[in-house]
Amino acid sequence: MQTWFGSAPWKVYGIQLMPQTAVSEALWQPTWVEDGVLAAFSASCEADPAECVAQGWSTLSWGAAATLGGCRLAWNQVAALPDAVYATDGGDGQSKTNALWWIATRCPYDE
């Protein structure tokens, strides 16, 4: 598996999770994320933090985690990312505001 910009698993899974917008709900369901995408993506991203996190791809992983109910942790992780990740390959086309909106709208407020 690979994409035109690399074969790291986090790139392949990450591109499948783009974009995380309201229309994404019609394109992928929590069961798709839960049945392997999130685990494989997260493991690959955590194994390569210098690139995956620095290039903004981890925002997609945390957004997917929020879909499965991990909102508080996802919120804290994305909120702590430097703004510079949104001007890189994985973060370009997304914003911190969008990433936080996605997370906030996946889970109930009383979590």
Query: What letters, b where the CB count within 10 A reaches 16 and e where it falls short, cover 91-107?
Result: beebebebbbebbeebb
Query: Within 10 Å of residue 10's Cβ, how many Cβ atoms?
Result: 26
The residues with which 3 forms a beta bridge, in sequence order, are 6
pLDDT per residue as tens digits for the range 2-25: 777 778 888 888 888 888 887 877
The residues with which 6 forms a beta bridge, in sequence order, are 3
Write down the pTM of the prediction: 0.83
The tokens for 67 are: 């879909």
For the chain, which ranges sit under pLDDT 50? Answer: 111
The tokens for 56 are: 């903004």
